[in-house]
Structure formats: C-alpha cells, structure tokens
Amino acid sequence: MMQQPDRRNDGPPGFPRGNENQQNNTNTPANRGPWWRRNLPWLLLLLVIPWVIFLIWNPNSSNSGEQVSYSQFISQVQAGNVASVTITDNSASGTFKKAVQSDVSSGQPNTKFTTTIPNLPSDQTMKILQDNKVKTVGGSSNGSNFLFGLLFQYGPVLLLIIGILWLSRRATAAQGNIFSFGQSRARMYMGGKTKTTFADVAGVDESKVDLEEVVDFLKNPQRYSRLGGKLPKGILLVGPPGTGKTLLAKAVAGEADVPFFSMSGSEFVEMLVGVGASRVRDLFDRAKKASPCIIFIDELDAVGRQRGAGLGGGNDEREQTLNQILVEMDGFDPRQATIVIAATNRPDVLDPALMRPGRFDRQVVVDRPDRNGRQAIFGVHTRGMPLGPDINLDVLARATPGMVGADIANICNEAALLAARRNKDLIDMRDFEDAIDRIMMGAQRPLLLPPEERRVIAYHEGGHALVALLTPGSDSVHKVTIVPRGQALGVTQIMPLDDRHNYPRSYLLGRIAVGLGGRVAEQIAIGEITTGAENDLQNVTNLAREMVTRWGMSSRIGTVFFGRDREVFLGREMSLGQQRDYSEETAAAIDEEVQRIIGERYSYVEKLLGMYRPLLDEIAKRLLEKEVLDEPELRAIVGNVPPADVVRLLEESEALSSDGAASATTSVGGATTMQPA
C-alpha cells in the first residue's frame, strides 16, 4: 500500500472533503420512561428513612442495656446486686450495683441490663423484688413513646404523600417545557468570559487580518460611522474541517470583549414545524438586548441549504428556519453593533439569498496552513508541554503536509500520551515521530505472517519506494515498513519537500507510476500477482480519470470538462439515476484514454524495475531484515544510479504518449491482461 498525504480539497483523488455534523436530541422526557421509574430511588428512600430513624432512636431498643437471662436476673436480685428495676408489660430493665458478665451475649461486663419476663404470675416477680428490697418502678410501652409510635405509624405515609406531590409538580413542569421549545438554546459567554484571543490562533494569518478589522468595528464604531461606513452584518468563515473556524470566532469575541452567542445550525431545527423560526427570533432578540455582541452559527449548511430543490417539496421546517434567519438579518439596526459570524465547509450548497451582500457581507477563507503556519500551530499546542532538547518544530511541520490545526493538536496529544506510557519526564522527537506514524499510517498490529507472504509484501513496498526514488520530480520517500499498520500489511510513506498548490502533468504521471510500482514489482520478482494492489489500482484509476475528465490533460479528449459533483446534497437538484452530459461515444473514448495512460505508465515501470532489479532485491532484502527503512538508508542503496538512464526512459514514455491510438492500444493490451478480474 502506498500512502501519500493529502494537501488540498481540490487536488487529486484521495483528498478529503468536508462532511456535515448533525445533532439529534433524544434525551427528552418522553424517551426516558414514566415518571415513577425515573424517580424510583427517591421513592425507596422515602420509605426507608422512617425505619432507620426508629432503629436509631427507639428507647426500648437493645442499645438501652445488656441483655441477660431471667434466671441470672433473679440470681442477681437475690444476691442484692440490683439497684433499681423498671418493669413494663413483659420486660424489665435496670442497673446493677456491680458490673456483671452476661450469659446471653459475649460482650463486656455492663451495669445496665434488660431481660424478658416469662409467662409467670406477675406477683411472683414482684414478690421476689420486694423481699430483696429492690427499688421497682412500673412503666408502659405505650406511655412515653406515644408520640414516637404515632410518628412511626403515620410518618411513612406522610412522607410518601409529600413525595408524590413533589414528583407531580416536577412532571407538570416537564410538560410545561413543551412551550419552551421555541426558546433559543444558544450558549452565551458574557464579555470577559471568552478567554480565547488571536494569540491562541496560528497558521491563518490572512484570516486574522480580515477579522481584526471586525474587532476594531466593535471597539470603535464611531470611527467608521462618521465617514458613512456601516458595520458588516454577517461574516462567513469558509474552509475545510479542523482549520480553526470556531476558534477564530471565539477569538474575535475575546479580543472585542463582547458577549458571544454560540449555536450550531442543527440546533435550530426540530420535528415540530415553526420551532426553528421561533428559536431564531428568540436568539436575535437576546442578542439585540446584549449588543454590541457576536452571534456565531456553526455548520450553517445544516440550515442554510438551497430552498425549493430538495425532496418532499419546499415548505418544510428547515426552509422556514432559513426564511426567518434572512428576515432577522435584514432587520438589523446598524447602531446595535450585532455581527453574525457563521462557519461552513460547504459554501457551494448555501442559498444565494443568504450569500448576498447585506446578509453575509464578507467571506473569509480559512484554508489549510502552509509549512510556516503548521510550525506556528505546533508552537501553540506545545505551549506548556515539557519538551526535550531535540525537538525541532520545523521538521515536524515538514512531516505533516496537508494537516490542519485539529490534526496537529491530536499529534501533540498522542505524543504526550506516548511519553507518559514510556515513563518519560520530557517529550522527545521520537514520541512525536511515533505519534505522526500512528495517525497517518495506523497503529501497529502484532500479526504473524508466513515467510512467503512477508517476501511478497517486501517486494511490493520496495517497488513503490524504488520507483519514487528513481522518477524525477516525484515526492521523496520518508519511510517504508512491512510491519502491518491499520488495515495495511505494509506502507510506503511519501512526503513532499514542500507544499504544492498546483499539480503539473508530469508530477501526476509520476504519481501513477509510483502507484503501479508495487504490482509491477510482484510480477517481476515473484512471477505472480496478488490482491495487495487493490487500493493502489483504485487510486491510480481515479487519478487518471480526473486528468482526462476534469483537468484537460489528454490530447485525445481535449480541454473539455466532463466531470460532475460526486456528492449529492438535498439542497441541490437530485435524481435517482446517475446522469452525464456527454454521449456514449465520448464515455468510451474517456475509458480508452484512461486505459492508455495507465498502460503507458505500467510499461515505463516495467522497464525501470527490470533495469534496476538488483536495487529492488537489495531493498526487499533489507526490509525482510529490519522491517523498517527510512529515507537515508534508501538513498544510500540507490545513490549510484545514473539519472540519464531514467530520463531516457521517461522521454521514451513521453514519445509513446504522443503517438497515435494504435500504439496506445498495444500498450494497454499488455497491461490489462495482468490485472485480476
């Protein structure tokens, strides 16, 4: 498997596109069960509390004295060791003159005692007490404890009634919340509470310049109003996911020190029709009262898609919410100094009425950072981290092309976790390199492979690496490994020397050649082809088709655009069947041209690897021994290759590409027979 980092959204296939984040609130009272089941612990607690109080405070409990037998009680009375006795219905309690060890329990000697009087004539016990001149007091079990008994009998019922009334009030309040659906759920941060500033944002210097003017608008509106300038009503932040759009909006509020209302576009829309529009009205009413302030709507495309072109008609809840947003933005008073900032990664699906001046006056592009920007982002995210002396942020920025701020934050976090797992006090360069490998290539898998399969993988990855090393203009090979990572049995990691923004035709042809290097190496060295090139063939085919249909890089087809959007959105015109705006003859010509380009690159790679077969064997041998080869080791293996031979092969391949269709068909015929069905 060959892996190459993504750089731009509009580049060759394999580059990520933004997706939508929708939130569904399923934590409603109707979905949590009946009220008695939700509050069952409270009901049980109300029933248990009275009995606990009774066990602790009951004056007739066993805590009032040591339990003794009736015979021991009589013997102590006759021995003159009983000071006083209190007799109730069927029990007696009192105190001994001297502590006595009970024969009922194994506790310590105690001066207080209690005993149970058996079913004997009551005058017999009283006679023994009177004969021994023991002070006797008569008592009743229902006398002094009358109030406690009353509380014990009726207390649980009273507590249960109080609990039911309290739960009923809660249930009534929950039902009343139905009428609060229309209230805004925006999170409000008052001035001074938003601690994020422009010092916490790096890698998007051009976007910060545009937003600094907005901060100045909020701080000094009179400077612009005296010249007839008006505060912009809306600012749209456009860029791929993870580039820091939300962070920039918070930084604007932090710099201007004004209230900040934050809400996602999907939070406006509910199942009930009209709720979204009501929430929009409530949000803008709250913002007008707190002006000057900032309203931030994240993922605007969730509610701002084009109207009237989706399935199911145009009069739905989302469109009513969008209409209310348009009305509220038109009704702004310029003197209120309220700015709407929205973020999206798909501005092409937004409604034109939302994009016009007067609603969103500015579009600020928050693009992927370049190498200097990535270095600054590393500096922000490593602030406060204990770094080792070998850390080089410039090297880390070079090793992460195409990554955005969220990716870099993830790398710094992974490096810190790896250093902690290794019981280190400082985070060194090895931790960052391992974190980058883990994120870009996947985690290592302890997979035991047979020797023959390891040999096939070694030649496959060696073919990718050797073609990339020998092809002029190709990106450099950063690392080759045959250790299984993620879903791949082996990975060839290719890193560019610098960020690319335009892709020449020769560079794209070189990428196709590198992608075919693994399959050709299997054929030359093993004499058999395997299924390991599936992902490579998919990427190569997509790239060749993009060259023909989208970028006009085919002399046979011409400079005509035949591509269509591959993603279908409800805000765009949608058809159940895939349509194209060109004929079947043109489609057949496109297929033939794609096959011709791939076949010519296949022939070039066959000649290249056949000419330098000893280098391929040496790379495969080193991979089987060490499992991982980095760039310096690979450069040392191919250091003595004369570049003139490779240039000659490329010139022959280009000459073949400029020939007629007959020679191209011959080349394609040899290539297609080698690919499995």
Q: How confident is the model at residue 572 (pLDDT cuts 50, 70, 90)?
A: very low
Those residues with Cβ within 8 angstroms of residue 379's Cβ, 6 or more apart along the chain or in another chain? 202, 393
What local confidence, expressed as pLDDT, does residue 46 receive?
64
Q: What number is the average pLDDT over the span 475-482?
A: 88
Angstrom distance (rounded) from CA 475 to CA 640: 19
Preceding omega of 121 cis (within 30 degrees of 0): no
User: How many C-beta atoms surround the C-beta of residue 676 within 10 A?
Assistant: 9
Measuring CA to CA, which residue among 47, 416, 34, 372 is closest to residue 206? 372
Measuring CA to CA, which residue among 246, 235, 153, 250 is closest to residue 196? 250
DSSP labels, 601-635: HHHHHHHHHHHTHHHHHHHHHHHHHHSEEEHHHHH
Please state whether beta strands 338-344 and 293-298 pair in parallel, antiparallel, or not at all (unpaired).
parallel
Instruction: Render pLDDT for 487-530 as a digit per residue (tens, 0 to 9).
Output: 788 888 888 777 777 889 989 999 999 999 999 999 999 989 99
In the chain, the largest separation of any two C-alpha atoms, in whole Å, equals 138
User: How many C-beta atoms surround the C-beta of residue 122 within 10 A?
Assistant: 12
Q: Cβ-count burial of 130 within 10 angstroms (0-12 exposed, 13-18 middle, 19+ buried)?
A: exposed
What local confidence, expressed as pLDDT, does residue 677 receive?
25
Instruction: Classify 5 as helix, strand or coil.
Output: coil
Instruction: Render pLDDT for 60-117 as a digit per residue (tens, 0 to 9).
Output: 444 456 777 778 878 888 888 787 888 776 777 788 777 776 665 556 676 787 887 7
pTM over 0.75: no
Amino acid identity for residue 283 in this structure: L
What local confidence, expressed as pLDDT, does residue 671 receive?
29
Instruction: Render pLDDT for 140-170 as a digit per residue (tens, 0 to 9).
Output: 554 445 556 666 666 677 777 777 777 777 6
Range scoring the smallest mean pLDDT among 31-45, 101-115, 629-643: 31-45
Q: How confident is the model at residue 26 (pLDDT cuts 50, 70, 90)?
A: very low
Q: What is the mean pLDDT of the chain?
A: 76
Give the rounded percent of residues in the chain with a pLDDT score beyond 90.
19
Amino acid identity for residue 498 in this structure: D
Instruction: Render pLDDT for 524-564 as a digit per residue (tens, 0 to 9).
Output: 999 899 998 999 999 999 999 999 999 999 888 888 888 76
What local confidence, expressed as pLDDT, does residue 33 receive?
55
Angstrom distance (rounded) from CA 107 to CA 114: 14
DSSP labels, 275-331: HHHHHHHHHHHHHHHT-SEEEEEESGGGT-BPSS-STT-S-SHHHHHHHHHHHHHHT
Angstrom distance (rounded) from CA 490 to CA 331: 60
Q: How confident is the model at residue 291 (pLDDT cuts 50, 70, 90)?
A: confident
The residue that leads in pLDDT, 454 or 671, is 454
Range scoring the smallest mean pLDDT among 7-11, 230-234, 261-265, 377-381: 7-11
Angstrom distance (rounded) from CA 84 to CA 435: 83
Catalytic residue among 317, 328, 433, 461: 461
pLDDT above 60: residue 428: yes
Q: Left, alpha or beta for 587 (phi > 0: left; psi -120 to 50: alpha)?
A: alpha
Q: How confident is the model at residue 120 (pLDDT cuts 50, 70, 90)?
A: low
Integer Rg of the chain from CA: 41
What local confidence, expressed as pLDDT, does residue 170 receive?
67
What local confidence, expressed as pLDDT, does residue 93 receive?
78
What local confidence, expressed as pLDDT, does residue 193 receive?
61
What local confidence, expressed as pLDDT, does residue 377 receive?
92
Question: Does the annotation mark 633 as catalytic?
Answer: no
Asked if residues 492 and 1 have their Cβ atoms less than 8 Å apart, the reply is yes
Q: Cβ-count burial of 596 within 10 angstroms (0-12 exposed, 13-18 middle, 19+ buried)?
A: buried
pLDDT above 70: residue 639: yes
Measuring CA to CA, which residue among 596, 467, 592 is closest to residue 536? 467
| 335 φ, ψ (degrees, to nearest 5) | -75, -10
Asked if residues 489 and 461 have their Cβ atoms less than 8 Å apart, the reply is no
- Between vectors from CA 94 to CA 89 and to CA 100, what angle results, nearest 5°? 130
Angstrom distance (rounded) from CA 158 to CA 314: 57
Distances (CA, A) of 604 to 112, 451, 522, 599, 651: 107, 30, 15, 9, 10
| 510 φ, ψ (degrees, to nearest 5) | -65, -35
Asked if residues 489 and 27 have their Cβ atoms less than 8 Å apart, the reply is no
What local confidence, expressed as pLDDT, does residue 104 receive?
59
Q: What number is the average pLDDT over the span 447-455?
A: 86
Q: How confident is the model at residue 261 (pLDDT cuts 50, 70, 90)?
A: confident
Which runs of consecutive H residues, i.e. helices, occur in 9-115? Answer: 35-38, 40-57, 70-78
